[in-house]
Amino acid sequence: MQRAKHPVLSGILAASLIMAGLMPVTGQANSVYAEERPGELATIGDAVFVRPVMLVVTGLGLVAFTASLPFSALGGNVDEAGERLVKAPARSTFLRCLGCTPAQHEQRRAERRTERANR
């Protein structure tokens, strides 16, 4: 049997494939029951895989935004470029509840706004 040349990368790939195999099941359950809290698997997957990836995506978006800023300024769409490349990934990385789908997150925000309004 041949040894893996990069055992760390092999482990990350194996874990990613396992999580990818589980995602359709959890994604389907979350879309049907948006009112429920995220489960343990969704929370762990979000904390271990999604948040670090989204942090990298936010950084890459910032680099892309900075590189495209002169062209965005000439085109008059600096705000839209900033929203798409930096703000949206940053909100998903830092503000979305841990393990929540976008629908669950929006529902929880609406619940909090309603509670504040009723006080």
Q: Which residues contact 93 (CB under 8 A, 6 or more apart)?
A: 51, 54, 55, 57, 58
Predicted confidence at residue 72, as pLDDT, reads 95
The candidate with the shortest Cα–Cα distance to 17, out of 58, 45, 53, is: 45
CA distances for 15 relative to 19, 47, 103, angstroms: 6, 14, 26
Predicted confidence at residue 39, as pLDDT, reads 86
| Whether this model's pTM surpasses 0.85 | no
Can you spell out the DSSP letters for 35-82? TSPP-HHHHHHIIIIIHHHHHHHHHHHHHHHHHHHHHHHHHT-HHHHH
As a whole number of angstroms, the distance between CA 79 and CA 82 comes to 5
- Which stretches in the chain have pLDDT values below 50? 26-27, 30, 32-33
Predicted confidence at residue 4, as pLDDT, reads 53
Residue pLDDT, tens place only, 11-30: 676 666 666 666 555 445 54
Predicted confidence at residue 73, as pLDDT, reads 95
Predicted confidence at residue 30, as pLDDT, reads 46
How many CA atoms, within 13 angstroms, populate the side-chain half-sphere of residue 68?
18
106: three-class secondary structure by DSSP: helix
